[in-house]
Structure 1
Amino acid sequence: MQTVFHVSSPESDVRRHAMVNVTNLLEDDTTAAPDDDVAIVANGAGVRMFVASTAANGELVASLVERGVECFACGASLAKMNAITADLLPGVERVQSGVGALARLQDEGYGYVKAP
């Protein structure tokens, strides 16, 4: 099973909850989802979860990256907050467009989950 989580919330609690949901999916024996088949795409204010200076839960991001979760930050959203690729947490990839990454992953068969 391939799953992509979409995070765009300005609220750090919502972003953390999304990462907890990813962890729950990885630990759910009934889904048989290998770690490398789970991704998080952040756009809008959601990119704050991946920018080192604004990441309230950097250790949780690091643990997900370590487990093979692919993390993508929208380049357009980063530019709006004057952040650059070097500002991202280790293991997070900058993509040109978060929406484009979501479309590509869904085209590749990923199921879509919108973070609350």
Structure 2
Amino acid sequence: MPLKAVLHINEVDRLSVAINNARNLLRDTGGNDLDVLFLLNGAAVEALTSEDTLSALGELAEKGIEIHVCRNSLKNLCGSGLCLDEEALPSFIKVVPAGITALITLQNQGYAYIKP
């Protein structure tokens, strides 16, 4: 049975912690039997403006970690003057309608909730 977890990141400064957590998990398990994803919402979506962040997330995605981003948070970010076009995001990023709904759904599906 795979290890199932959702890492919830809603603050920019917690994303590096989550990335390190995921790297440690991959190293510890060899990347085998994992079903892990990141869910970014709130202020954390601003981190997607950084090429370094996108590169780190892309490396995790290549190793099987899914990256999900809240559409509502993207819209709110645009309201503050920093717009990220959903269509311009890298293909490894999945946009979900509402982060809160995704978190509840994933937990109901047996994903452990991790808040780095």
1:4 corresponds to: 6
Distance 1:27 1:59 in 2: 18
1:47 corresponds to: 45
Number of residue pairs the alignment of both structures matches: 109
Percent of pairs identical after alignment? 29
Structure 1 residues 55, 47: closer, same or farther in 2, change over 3 A? farther
Q: CA deviation at 1:55?
A: 4.9
Quick check: which one's helix share is greater?
2
Distance 2:9 2:76 in 1: 17
Structure 1 residues 48, 10: closer, same or farther in 2, change over 3 A? same
Q: Does 1:80 align with 2:76?
A: yes
RMSD over aligned Cα atoms: 1.9
TM-score, normalising length from structure 2? Answer: 0.83
1:34 corresponds to: 33
1:23 corresponds to: 23
Conserved 8 A contact 1:48-1:55: no
Q: CA deviation digits over 1:18-38, x for unaligned, max 9? A: 111011112213x97534x00
Structure 1 residues 26, 32: closer, same or farther in 2, change over 3 A? closer
Ranges in structure 2 where 5+ consecutive residues have no aligned partner: 79-83
2:61 corresponds to: 65
Q: CA deviation digits over 1:14-68, x for unaligned, max 9? A: 2112111011112213x97534x0000010011123x3x3354221101111011
2:98 corresponds to: 97
Conserved 8 A contact 1:25-1:33: no
TM-score, normalising length from structure 1? Answer: 0.83
SS of corresponding position for 2:12: coil
